[in-house]
Amino acid sequence: MAEYKGCIVEESIDDNRVLNNLKTVKIRITDEDDPEKRWHIYDSLVSEEEINKLHEHLKQSSVLLKYNGKPSSWKRFMNS
């Protein structure tokens, strides 16, 4: 099963519980002064199946990108 590297912004999904089962490498939080404007960014390794599950939980106008190590393999998913 292919594993993809990616960054997931917690605020771009409608149910953050989907992040619980991902293989997270690092979590970053932006340093905005206003806590309401901060992003929680999860650097993760995910499978195709997990990408599909994340896609189901994208908020309106959010974008999901996946990358498997080759520049030509970027795929973009948009929830509209």
What is the arithmetic mean of pLDDT over 44-60? 84
Average pLDDT over residues 11-17: 90
- Domains of the chain by residue range: 3-60
Note the pTM of the prediction, 2 decimals: 0.73
Among candidate residues 18, 38, 20, 19, the one with its CA nearest the CA of residue 28: 38
Tokens 């519980």 label which residue? 17
pLDDT computed for residue 48 by the predictor: 83
Asked whether 1 and 47 are in contact (CB, 8 A), the reply is yes
What is residue 46's predicted lDDT score, i.e. its pLDDT?
86
pLDDT at 73 over 70: no
**pLDDT exceeds cutoff 60 at 75:** no
Beta carbons of 46 and 23 less than 8 angstroms apart: yes
Is the separation of the CB atoms in 65 and 6 below 8 Å? Answer: yes
Confidence of residue 70 (pLDDT cuts 50, 70, 90): very low
